[in-house]
């Protein structure tokens, strides 16, 4: 099953067409995409009687997020070994969990307003929960997943690395618009192997991140099981599962997003998330954060150049 959102209304792919779920079901199911998850099992059974999706099709022109208002939005850090290496961090023995506050969730078609000159990209596989999960075993974890989508864990590195430990991961990654997800929600049964999907990110046409989700240190079943032992995962909650190597902060010199950039995030079987980078948003200065900038950190790309802030590692 492949779902999308258009004009705030849930759409189901049937064959090579999108149908409005509320209309097709005679209003049995709501138009609001977020409202479908508490009734996921019932909805899935209804959708199983419809014509199946046939091949990938273009998403709606102004697609919305498939889970626009999750009750909980959870981020996982350092979940690929190559990303741990570029960040000079030891491999974790348990998932590194932080809040990616749900107010940051954005439509996949929304432009990204920058908060400063140290905003970075992180392509991630995003899990949407379809069934309440509490003390779930790894072997049963996938049955609690409604579907998978693409996300960008946009990060202001100055805010993220401000202050003494613990660092401000939640704040630095949760500014308005810093969690675009979509455009598709794809159920695991649509994928040949939902534990092994190619994941890539392109910045202005250049591949900056490329890996496979089989390289996650903690895969989807591990994360659902671990999180459900610590808290209750509710229908419609989302989990950003971590990013592979290739982020701007890990480069020497560092590279950060600037107005006019285009991010294209792709995950095998899930389509692509295209993010157009807009101007720096006024009223959210990060100048109060302590930063250092080493000599020679000028960033050059394309026809322009700029000098990016280099957050202090603490």
Tell me how far CA of residue 232 lies from CA of 93, 188, 266, 288, in angstroms.
22, 21, 30, 36
pLDDT range class, residue 286, cuts 50, 70, 90: low
Q: What's the confidence (pLDDT) of residue 55?
A: 85
Q: What's the confidence (pLDDT) of residue 4?
A: 98
Q: What's the confidence (pLDDT) of residue 292?
A: 38
The answer, yes or no, to whether residue 115 has pLDDT greater than 80, is yes
User: Helices then strands (H, E): number in the chain?
Assistant: 6, 22
Q: What's the confidence (pLDDT) of residue 96?
A: 96
Residue 25 lies in a domain: no
> Among 1, 266, 234, which Cα is nearest to 123's?
266
Average pLDDT (122-150) is 99
The answer, yes or no, to whether residue 311 has pLDDT greater than 70, is no
pLDDT range class, residue 163, cuts 50, 70, 90: confident
Q: What angle do CA 2, 211, 159 make, to 5 degrees?
A: 90
Average pLDDT (229-247) is 98
The answer, yes or no, to whether residue 307 has pLDDT greater than 60, is no
Residue 57 lies in a domain: no
CA gap 152, 252 in Å, rounded: 22
Residue 72 lies in a domain: yes
Residue 6 lies in a domain: no
Q: What's the confidence (pLDDT) of residue 283?
A: 62
Per cent of the chain over pLDDT 70 is 89
Residue 285 lies in a domain: yes
CB hemisphere CA count around 51 (13 angstroms): 11
Burial of 127 (0-12, 13-18, 19+ CB in 10 A): buried
CATH at residue 292: 3.90.850.10
Residue 165 lies in a domain: yes
Q: What's the confidence (pLDDT) of residue 167?
A: 79
Q: What's the confidence (pLDDT) of residue 37?
A: 99
Average pLDDT (267-288) is 83
Q: Which two tokens stand for residue 69?
A: 């208002």
The answer, yes or no, to whether residue 308 has pLDDT greater than 60, is no
> Among 115, 155, 111, 151, which Cα is nearest to 250's?
155
Q: What is the mean pLDDT of the chain?
A: 90
pLDDT range class, residue 233, cuts 50, 70, 90: very high
**Domain hosting residue 206, numbered range:** 68-311
Average pLDDT (187-193) is 97
Q: What's the confidence (pLDDT) of residue 289?
A: 46
The answer, yes or no, to whether residue 305 has pLDDT greater than 70, is no
Question: Worst-scoring range by mean pLDDT, 61-65, 122-126, 239-243, 258-262?
Answer: 61-65
Average pLDDT (68-97) is 95
CA gap 273, 170 in Å, rounded: 22
Residue 155: is the preceding peptide bond cis (ω within 30°)?
no
Residue 42 lies in a domain: no
Residue 147 lies in a domain: yes
The answer, yes or no, to whether residue 110 has pLDDT greater than 90, is yes
Q: What's the confidence (pLDDT) of residue 260?
A: 98
Residue 295 neighbours by CB distance under 10 Å: 6
The answer, yes or no, to whether residue 304 has pLDDT greater than 90, is no
Domains in the chain: how many in total? Answer: 1
Judge contact between 42 and 97, C-beta under 8 A: no
Q: What's the confidence (pLDDT) of residue 61?
A: 87
Tell me how far CA of residue 65 lies from CA of 146, 179, 279, in angstroms.
14, 10, 22
CA gap 35, 33 in Å, rounded: 5
Provide the whole-model pTM. 0.90
Give SS3 for 104.
helix
């Amino acid at each position: 099953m492949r779902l999308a959102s258009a004009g705030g209304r849930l759409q189901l792919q049937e064959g090579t067409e999108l149908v409005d779920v509320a209309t097709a079901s005679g209003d049995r199911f709501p138009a609001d995409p977020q409202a479908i998850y508490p009734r996921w099992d019932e909805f899935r059974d209804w959708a199983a009687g419809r014509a199946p999706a046939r091949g990938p099709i273009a998403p709606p022109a102004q697609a919305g997020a498939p889970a626009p208002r999750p009750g909980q939005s959870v981020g996982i850090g350092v979940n690929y070994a190559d990303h741990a290496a570029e960040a000079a961090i030891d491999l974790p023995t348990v998932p590194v969990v932080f809040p990616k506050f749900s107010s940051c969730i954005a439509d996949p078609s929304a432009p990204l307003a920058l908060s400063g000159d140290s905003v970075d990209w992180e392509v991630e596989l995003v899990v949407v929960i379809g069934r309440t999960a509490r003390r779930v075993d790894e072997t049963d974890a996938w049955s609690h997943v409604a579907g998978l989508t693409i996300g960008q864990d946009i990060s202001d590195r100055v805010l993220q690395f401000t202050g003494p430990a613990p660092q401000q991961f939640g704040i630095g990654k949760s500014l308005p618009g810093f969690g675009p997800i979509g455009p598709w929600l794809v159920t695991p049964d649509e994928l040949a192997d939902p534990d092994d999907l190619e994941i890539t990110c392109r910045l202005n046409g250049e591949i900056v991140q490329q890996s496979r989700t089989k390289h996650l240190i903690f895969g989807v079943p591990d994360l659902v099981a671990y999180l459900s032992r610590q808290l209750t995962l509710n229908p419609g909650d989302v989990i950003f599962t971590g990013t592979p190597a290739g982020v701007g902060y890990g480069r020497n010199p560092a590279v950060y997003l600037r107005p006019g950039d285009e991010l294209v995030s792709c995950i095998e079987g899930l389509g692509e998330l295209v993010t157009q980078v807009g101007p720096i948003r006024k009223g959210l200065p990060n100048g109060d954060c302590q930063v250092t900038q080493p000599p020679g950190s000028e960033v050059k790309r394309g026809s322009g150049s700029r000098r990016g802030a280099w957050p202090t590692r603490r």
